[in-house]
Structure 1
Amino acid sequence: MKWEGEQQSSNVEDRRGGGGGFGLGGGSIGLGGVAVALVAGWIFGINPLTILGLMEGGGGAPSSQSAPAHPPPANDREAAFVSTVLADTEQVWRAQLQRGGVQYRDPKLVLFRGRIGTACGTGQSAMGPFYCPGDQKIYIDLGFFDTLRQQLGAPGDFAQAYVIAHEVGHHVQNQLGITDKVDAMRGKVSERQMNQLSVRVELQADCLAGVWAHDSQQGKGWLEQGDLEEAMNAASRIGDDTLQRQSQGTVVPESFTHGTSAQRVAWFRRGQASGNMNDCNTFDARNL
C-alpha cells in the first residue's frame, strides 16, 4: 500500500502520554479472551471492553485516562499510517453520503495505551480498536497491530487499514441511525435474536469497509498486489467460528455476534466489488 506522502487527517487525538513505543500494557490478551469478551458483551448487554478489564484484573496496564490530547509526533510512522487511512475514509464517506443527501460528520480517532475513559465506559487496549457511538470516536491502541500480525495471523498494512475502515463503518452506521435502531431492540428480543442482529451490524461494517476500499483505490490507486488479500485474510481470521475454534476447540453458532469467517470475507468483497453502500443492506438479506 503506497500511503507515504498522502494527506493525513487532523482528527487524530494522541492520548498515549509520554511518547515512544506501543505496548499493550500488561501484555496482549489471548484469542480466548477476545472471543469471550465479544460473545459475553452481547449476551449480557455489557460493554465487552469492561469484561476484558475484569479479565485482566483491572491493573498492570498503563492508563491513558487523563492524558491530554495532542497531535501525534510527526516522526511517528504508525500514527502517520492511521492518520492517512482515516483521512481517506473521510474523503470517501463525505462523497458517498452526500450522494444520499446526508452530511458526513468526521469521527475523531483516539490513540491510547492500556485503558481509557470513553462515553461507552472504560476502554481496554486488549479488545483492539473499537468505536464508541456515544462520543463518535474510534479508539486504537496501536499495539493491537502486533496482535493482529503475530497472534491472529493477519500481517500487512492493508489488513490494518481494513480494521480502521471497519470501525469507521460503525461510525457511518451511527450517522445513518442504524446503531440506535439496533440498540433499541436490546431487551425486547431474545438473546439469540440479539446475537443475529449483532452479526448483521458487523457484516454491514465489513461491507462498508469494502466500499471504502473500492472508492479509495479508484481515487488514489495506492493498493499494491496482495493488499486486498491481506484485508480478506484479516476478515477471515476474526470470524466467530475461527476465533471460537482456536480459543475453545468448538464452534457454537447461536453465540455468534460478528459472523463467520466466510461471511465476513463475502461481505467485504461485496462492498469492494461494487463500491455501492446500498449493496450493504445486511438487515434485509435472507442469506448472509
Structure 2
Amino acid sequence: MHMRIPLKSLASGALASLMFAGTAHAGVEAEAKQAASYPRVMTSNAIYKTGPLELKTCEEVPVQADDLEGVRVYLEFLLDCLNESWSKQLAKAGIPFVKPKFQVIPRIGPSACGRFPKGAQAVYCWDKRTMVVLLDKALLAEPYELDLMHVIAHEYGHHVQNLTGILPALSRMGRKASEKVRLGHVRRVELQAECMSGAFIGSVWHSLGRKEFDFKYIVKMAQYGDSLSHGKGKNIAHWLKKGWDAEGPQVCNTFKAPKGLVS
C-alpha cells in the first residue's frame, strides 16, 4: 500500500504568520461581521474568470524508494508543469507572473522559510515566494508520484493566491481579528489551495495514464484529514474533487462559499 503524504498543516507552518501574529480579540458580533466580509480581491478575483487550465500534458516520472535526488528531480519537473500552466492562467487574468522559489530538505530543521514546522510535509512562505518540501526517510521509504503531485500542486495554489493578491489581503485582515475569525479565514485559503491543486491534477489527468480510482484514493484519504486550519476532511475532499472536475480555478471561490463547506 502506498503511503499517503499528510495534508500540510500550515497552522503551524509559514502561512500561519499571516494570521496568527496579532493578539487583538473581538466580540462575537464583530467575529460574525468580519467572517462574512471579504475584500473584492478575494471574492471577485480575476483568476476566477479565466476558465479551465490550458496545459493538458504533464507525464509522471517514476520515482524509486530511498532516492532523494530522484524525487527532487520529479518535483522540479512538476514545478515546470505548474509554472507553464499557471503562468498562462495569470496572463489571461492580466496578472504578472513570477516563478516561485523551491527547496527540498531531508529533515526538520532550518529552511528557506525559517524553521520547518513539525507535522508538515510542505510549506509556502508568501513573503519570500518560496515553497519548501520535506523529503525525509519516512516519505522516501515509499514515495508515491500522485501524492507528490498533490502536495506540490497545493503549495503552488498558495503561490497563485500570493500573486493574485489573496494572501496579502489575508495578512491585512488578520491583524485585528480574534483567533476564531482568523482560523475561519485560514480554512478558506487552505481549501481554495486544495481546489486549485485538484484543478491542476484534473487538467493533466489524461496524460498520466492512470485510472480514475487513483484519484478517488487521494480524495478518500483527504476525508481523514480533519484540521482546525484546513477544515473538515469531507470539505477538503469536496474542494479537491470540485477543482478536479472543473480543471480550473473558476469553481474555487471559497470566500463566497457557505460556512458548511469551509468549516
Same fold (TM over 0.5): yes
Within the alignment, does 1:227 sit opposite 2:227 as a pair?
no
Gapped runs of 5+ residues in structure 1?
Answer: 1-30, 47-73, 150-154, 241-255
AA at the equivalent of 1:277: P
Are 2:129 and 1:129 equivalent residues in the alignment? no
Structure 2: how far apart are the matches of 1:173 and 1:145?
A: 30
Distance in 1 of aligned mates of 2:19 and 2:94: 37
Please give the residue correspondences for 1:1-288 in structure 2 after superposition, counting only pairs within 5 Å.
37=12, 45=20, 76-113=69-106, 114-118=108-112, 120-124=113-117, 126-143=119-136, 146=139, 156-217=144-205, 221-225=207-211, 226-240=213-227, 256-286=228-258, 287-288=260-261
Q: 2 CA distance for matches of 1:107 and 1:75?
A: 21
Fraction of identical pairs, as percent:
25
2:104/2:135 contact within 8 Å kept: yes
Q: CA deviation at 1:166?
A: 0.4
Shift of 1:95: 1.8
Q: Which has the higher contact order (CA 8 A, sep 6+)?
A: 2
Equivalent-residue separation in structure 2 for 1:136 and 1:42 (angstroms): 14
Contact 1:159–1:230 under 8 Å retained in 2? no
Q: 1:75 to 1:202 in 2, by over 3 A?
A: closer
Letter in 1 for 2:232: T
Cα distance in structure 2, aligned partners of 1:228 and 1:117: 31
CA shift, 1:37, in A, is: 3.9
> Matched residues in 2 for 1:204 and 1:140: separation?
20
What's 1:18 paired with? none
Q: Counterpart amino acid of 2:195?
A: C
Q: Are the counterparts in 2 of residues 42 and 195 from structure 1 also a CA contact under 8 Å?
A: no
The CA distance in 1 between the partners of 2:176 and 2:219, in whole Å, is 34
Q: What is the deviation of 1:157?
A: 1.8
Q: Gaps (5+ residues) in structure 2?
A: 1-5, 22-66
Name the CA shift for 1:103/1:75 in 2 (closer, same or farther; >3 Å): same
Per-residue deviation, 1:283: 0.4
Report the counterpart of residue 11 of structure 1 in structure 2: none
Provide Cα deviations, 1:206-265, integer angstroms capped at 9, x if missing partner: 0000111122225xx11412331243244334331xxxxxxxxxxxxxxx2111110001
DSSP-derived class of the 1:130 partner = strand
Which amino acid is the alignment partner of residue 274 of structure 1? A
Distance change (3 Å), C-alpha of 1:190 and 1:75 = closer
Structure 1 residue 44: Cα displacement:
8.4
In structure 2, relative to structure 1, the CA distance for the partners of 1:216 and 1:133 (3 Å cut) is: same
Q: One-letter code of the match for 2:126?
A: P
Counterpart CA distance in 2 for 1:108 and 1:168 is 10
| Cα contact 1:239–1:261 (8 A) shared by 2 | yes
- What amino acid is the match of 2:125? C
| Contact 1:133-1:171 within 8 A present in 2 as well | yes
Shift of residue 205, structure 1, vs aligned partner: 0.2
Q: Mark the CA change 1:215 to 1:43 in structure 2 (over 3 Å): closer, same or farther.
A: closer
Q: Conserved in 1, the CA contact under 8 Å of 2:111 and 2:132?
A: no
RMSD (Å) for aligned C-alpha atoms? 3.0
Q: Do 1:239 and 1:259's aligned partners in 2 also have CA atoms closer than 8 Å?
A: yes
Q: Which amino acid aligns with 1:283?
A: F
1:101 Cα offset (Å): 1.7
* TM-score w.r.t. length of structure 1: 0.63
Aligned equivalents of 2:137, 2:174: Cα separation in 1? 29
Report if aligned partners of 1:267, 1:280 keep a CA contact under 8 Å in 2. yes
**Is the CA contact 1:204–1:280 (under 8 Å) kept in the aligned structure 2?**
yes
Residue 131 of structure 1 aligns to a residue whose secondary structure is strand
SS state at 1:134 partner: coil
Q: Deviations over 1:43-74 (max 9, x none)?
A: 9826xxxxxxxxxxxxxxxxxxxxxxxxxxx9
